[in-house]
Structure 1
Amino acid sequence: MNKKLKVPVIPNLDQVTMESVADFMEEQATRQSIEYANWEQDFPYKPISAFGIARTEKYLYISYFVRGNCLRAVNSKNNSSVWEDSCVEFFAQVPGEKEYYNFEFNCIGTCLAAKRRSRDEAVPFSDGQIAQIKRFSSVGDRPFEEMHGLFAWELVVAIPFSLLGLDGSNLPEKINANFYKCADATSLPHYLSWSPIDLPVPNFHCPEFFGEIYL
Structure 2
Amino acid sequence: MKTLSVKKISFPATESAAQIPSIFDAEQIPFQQINCVNWKDYPYMPEAKFRIAHTGDAVLIHYCITEKSVRAVAPADNGRVWEDSCAEFFVQPTDENKYYNFECNCAGTLLIEYGIPGNREHAPLETVGQVARWASLGRTPFEERMGECTWQLALRIPVSAFFHDKIALLDGKKMRANFYKCGDKLQTPHFLSWNPIALPSPCFHCPDFFGEIIFESK
Scaled to the shorter chain, the TM-score interval is over 0.9
Which amino acid in 2 is paired with 1:102?
N
Q: Which runs of 5+ in 1 are unaligned?
A: none
Q: Deviations over 1:18-38 (max 9, x none)?
A: 111111113422420000010
Q: Deviations over 1:67-101 (max 9, x none)?
A: 11101001121211100000000000023122111
Q: 8 Å contact 1:13–1:21 — kept in the other structure?
A: no
Q: Cα–Cα, structure 1 residues 70 and 170, in superposed 2: closer, same or farther, change >3 Å?
A: closer
Q: CA RMSD in A?
A: 1.3
Q: Which runs of 5+ in 2 are unaligned?
A: none
Once residues 133 and 208 of structure 2 are traced to their aligned partners in structure 1, the CA distance between those partners, rounded to angstroms, is: 28
Alignment of 1:5-84 (within 5 A): 5-28=4-27, 29-39=29-39, 41-84=40-83
Once residues 12 and 100 of structure 1 are traced to their aligned partners in structure 2, the CA distance between those partners, rounded to angstroms, is: 26
1:148 maps to which residue?
146
Once residues 26 and 34 of structure 1 are traced to their aligned partners in structure 2, the CA distance between those partners, rounded to angstroms, is: 19
Which amino acid in 1 is paired with 2:175?
I
Normalised to the residue count of structure 2, the TM-score between the two structures is 0.93
159-168 or 72-81: bigger deviation: 159-168
1:158 maps to which residue?
156
Normalised to the residue count of structure 1, the TM-score between the two structures is 0.94
Once residues 160 and 170 of structure 1 are traced to their aligned partners in structure 2, the CA distance between those partners, rounded to angstroms, is: 10
Q: Deviations over 1:11-70 (max 9, x none)?
A: 13535321111111134224200000101x201110000001000021100000001110
Q: Deviations over 1:156-199 (max 9, x none)?
A: 01111232224243645311000000000010100000000000
Q: 8 Å contact 1:14–1:56 — kept in the other structure?
A: no
Once residues 169 and 72 of structure 1 are traced to their aligned partners in structure 2, the CA distance between those partners, rounded to angstroms, is: 35
> Structure 1: which 4+ aligned runs deviate by more than 6 Å?
none
Which amino acid in 2 is paired with 1:52?
R
1:88 maps to which residue?
87
Identity of aligned residues (%): 40
